[in-house]
Structure 1
Amino acid sequence: MITVIESDARLGSRADENGLAAIEGWPTAQCAEDVDALDRLVLVGLADLLARTVGIAAADGSEPQALADRLGASPEHRWVVERWLDDLLAAGLVEAIGDGRVGSIERPRRTDLTAARDRMIEACARLGYASSLPKLLLDSLRHAVDLLQGRVSVQSILYPDGDATAALEVYGTNVVSRYLNAAAASVVADLAHSRSTPLRILELGAGVGATSEHILGTLGDRNVTHYVFTDLSSHFLRIARERFADEPWAHKMRFATVDITAPIADQLVDISADQDGYDVVLAATMAHNTVDVDALLGEVGVLLAPGGVVVLIETVVEHAQSLTTMPFALSMPDGSGPPARTDVRAGSHRTYLTAHEWTAAMVRAGLRPCVDLPRNGHPLEAFSQRLLVAAKPDTPTIHAETHDR
């Protein structure tokens, strides 16, 4: 039977309504200024670090790799210095001499650094990051040289003593995450209400389970056959098992270690007997970790049952606030820099794809994009994080207007 989603616009509208309901009363008008405050703190902090730590003769300039030498960067992290300089040049905080050389770096005044720190802390509070993200940003700046030299790991900054509190705030409790997770749960719930049988769901790179909680909390146990919770880290799988152990839908969860750079289906043989595929494949803030999005989405298309959907939450713009964490997590041990991408990011230091690049890749994989949120012009766009949904052909009709949640 050939079926279609009835009104992509209505599906997206329902998701937007549910996302906005999750942040009702939250002041969002200042989001752009607040996101900029997070970026600015890291940029001025790095400018201060380089001005204090390395000497540059303004007349002759310095090669980025010479600066890496002066900072004592380890072989695997040398490329990070060049990445920092690219963003500092774009922000006008470093002067380019030419031929790849860097000129003077003006050291920010102490009053400017203090103002940037205070503005960042206030912005984090408004955005729902509480105290964990300011601490993470300040700690990562404080240990930037240690990170470069390989004496401190980025994991120890992100998850001190194995604590996932900061990660939960970044991926679950702030304003844009609340919106996106609720909107994603709305799309999955609409699909569930269109089916006569419960859903089979696979989540890739589930991390601390912030999105999983929204999806399962919205669906309840009766609307799910099973929920396969996967991550590359066994540490996160352990956290999820403990965190969700007392939930009414806990018995529907299965756990597996999965590396998305290797064939996914082969890694699920012992945990899933879904010969007919999954109704939902979900990936929140992790699909960009693949080296080739076309290969990943092609595999997702095979994993999906006819009528299934892929639900992505993705950052679509490189933000400076991640400069003291994300690059270190990407460094290859052999000193070759970040993973060698073979998709549209090939030959660059880019981590993320644009929304247009994601939707184009979905189409190439034989999937039909049907939701892209937040809507144009909404203040939440400042975060550059989006919900992107695509359907595999023969998608069942979704009557979003006929049920309440």
Structure 2
Amino acid sequence: MDHAALLAMAHTLHRAGLFGDDRSYSTGEILSALGAAPRHHWIVRRWLAALTREGMLRSEAGEHHGLRPVSRPELAAAMRNLEAGRRGMGYPAAMGRFFQTALRSLPHLVRDEISLQSLLFPGGETGTAQGNYRDNLVSRHLNALAATAVATASWARDAQGRLRVLEIGAGVGATTELVLDALAHVPLDYLFTDVSGFFLDAARERFGHVPGMRYALLDINAGMSAQLSSARSSSARLSSARLSSAQCGGEAPFDIVLAANVLHNARHTGRTLASLRDLLAPGGTLVLLESCIEHHLVSTSMHFLMSPRAEEPLTGFADLREGQDRVFLTRAEWLRQLAAVGFRDVRVRPDPDDPLAAAGQYVFSAVRGEGAHRPDPGSLLAAAAERLPLHLALREIQSVDALPGPDPGMATSPCRRPGAR
């Protein structure tokens, strides 16, 4: 499946009139020849890096040359093999059609002439997207692992009142379905959230029979505590209007926070994890499902969903991924980020020797740690502003419980790690 994606990348570049001679092309020239929309430039840069790593392109100092030609029969054979891979992975036929349509539509996708949403949700239907997030071998296994992690966390709490669950970025409800099955005999206060009202409407229809379900819009990059401030006191059939910031008062009300295939969209992973930690009750559990490998097929399909929206800045991520043209954190990076904001008892599934670990997707569960009293970042910023010259003014302070140690093989002094600022 990844091989078909690589050939489609190369074919798209050739169709744009590139690499038909012996000359070198700069990244800027390639972007211009493709007519790439600015918000998708990072995806094209990923293609160039992937083709170089796989030996199909030669790149030095921002110049690229020698792209291997791809014939139509070779590409057609790769498409047939992609279909065989689709069947082997247990994807439904609709998902196979989606992958093939996306690969054939790369010139139009990169120019923003069509949107990936129109391919993934044809006619407003969610069946194709469910094939990606639910109806395949890896997703079924991982959603079951996430449901088990949530059920285990529910057993560990004091059995008083309803189990308070917040699911963020719930989307088509692929993980929700198995989680609700696992909690079938537990009294629930379950808040299903997403950034899109489209998914909330579909969830109301699908899970309307489940007692204790509520629904709310939630953007993980826009101050979650303020958005959720009135959610707990709202009715069980909360409208999809965006929540006000009136009533939370710093309360950390949730026993479990579930985030499946969404936190990679956070512009700053550490800040978002810290916000989720503060939404949990003492001893509460965070359950994450995340991809940790950037497969080539994703770079020619789902990555188009992750480009900045038209109204957003093109600066990309502001955390450890800054300037790297990547979306997903590695397994080790997630472990360090969770530790840095005070989570403990972190567990990861599947195990590294599990055959499905090759898919590069993992379920992380972690318990909110109770560290020492945290200083107020606002007070520290005010004090720093009074004492520091203007050119050293701090823009933000984050309070964490611990700092991760240096990576193996890096400089022994944590202050001298490459790229430290």
TM-score grouping bracket, smaller chain normalisation: 0.7 to 0.9
Aligned residue among 363, 366, 369 for 1:393: 369
In structure 2, relative to structure 1, the CA distance for the partners of 1:339 and 1:162 (3 Å cut) is farther
Report the Cα distance in structure 2 between the residues aligned to 1:55 and 1:335, rounded to whole angstroms: 31
- Select the residue among 121, 141, 145 that pairs with 2:107: 145
Question: What whole-Å deviation, never above 9, does each CA across 1:126-156 have from its counterpart, x for those lacking one?
Answer: 2110212211111112211111222111211
Secondary structure at the counterpart of residue 310 of structure 1: strand
* Aligned-pair CA distance for 1:340: 2.5
**Cα distance in structure 2, aligned partners of 1:191 and 1:327:** 32
**How far does the alpha carbon of each residue in 1:86-117 deviate from its partner, in whole angstroms, 9 at most, with x for none?**
11111122222x22111122222333222221
Letter in structure 2 aligned against 1:215: V
1:56 and 2:16 correspond: no
Q: Deviations over 1:48-78 (max 9, x none)?
A: 2212322336543001221221122233333
- Secondary structure of the structure 1 residue equivalent to 2:257: strand
Paired with 2:357 and 2:146, the residues of 1 have a C-alpha distance of 16
- Could you tell me how far 1:191 is from its partner in structure 2? 2.4
Runs ≥4 in structure 1, deviation > 4 angstroms?
333-339
SS for the counterpart of 2:95 is helix
The whole-number CA distance in structure 1 between the counterparts of 2:102 and 2:313 is: 20
Whole-angstrom CA distance in 1 between matches of 2:48 and 2:349:
32
Paired AA for residue 115 in structure 1: A
In the TM superposition, residue 390 of structure 1 has moved relative to its aligned partner by 0.6
2:286 and 2:205 map into 1 onto residues whose CA distance is: 27
The higher-RCO structure (CA 8 Å, 6+ apart) is 1
Other-structure match for 1:17 = none
Paired position in structure 1 for 2:177: 213
Deviation at 1:322, TM superposition (A): 1.0
Q: Give the superposition deviation at 1:314.
A: 0.3
Q: Structure 2 counterpart of 1:289, which letter?
A: N
TM-score, normalised by the number of residues in structure 2: 0.79
Structure 1 residue 224: deviation in Å?
Answer: 3.5
The match for 2:230 is 270
Report if aligned partners of 2:188, 2:211 keep a CA contact under 8 Å in 1.
no
- What is the Cα deviation at residue 302 of structure 1? 0.7
Shift of 1:47: 1.0
Q: Secondary structure at the match of 1:251?
A: coil
The separation in 1 between residues aligned to 2:135 and 2:18, in whole angstroms, is: 42
**Offset of 1:336 from its aligned partner?**
8.9
What fraction of aligned residue pairs are identical, expressed as a percent?
34
Contact 2:252-2:278 within 8 A present in 1 as well: no
TM-score, normalised to structure 1's length? 0.82
Residue 303 of structure 2 aligns with an amino acid whose one-letter code is P
The runs of 5 or more residues in structure 1 that have no matched partner are 1-37, 395-405
* 2:67 is the alignment partner of 1:93: no
Mapped contact 1:284–1:314 kept (Cα < 8 A)? yes
User: 1:356: Cα distance to partner?
Assistant: 0.8
Which of 332, 345, 353 is matched with 2:329 structurally?
Answer: 353
Quick check: 1:306 aligned with 2:274?
A: no
Q: CA deviation at 1:393?
A: 3.1
Q: Does 1:171 align with 2:133?
A: yes
Contact 1:330 1:339 in 2 (8 A): no
2:41 is equivalent to residue 71 of structure 1:
no
User: RMSD between aligned alpha carbons?
Assistant: 2.0
Range 132-141 or range 295-304, more displaced: 132-141
Across the two proteins, how many residue pairs are aligned to each other?
352
Matched, 1:125 2:101: no
Q: How far is the alpha carbon of 1:179 from its aligned partner?
A: 1.1
Q: For 1:119 and 1:383, locate their aligned partners in 2 and report how far apart those are by CA, in whole Å.
A: 18
Mean Cα deviation higher: 231-240 or 115-124: 115-124
Distance 1:141 1:100, change over 3 A: same
User: Residue 91 of structure 2 aligns to which amino acid in structure 1?
Assistant: Y
Distance 1:300 1:336, change over 3 A: closer
Residues 230 and 70 (structure 1), Cα distance of their counterparts in 2 relative to 1, 3 Å cut: same
Give the match for residue 82 of structure 1.
Answer: 45
Q: Distance in 2 between matches of 1:338 and 1:352?
A: 18
- For residues 235 and 339 of structure 1, the distance between their equivalents in structure 2, rounded to whole angstroms, comes to 27
SS at match of 1:255: strand
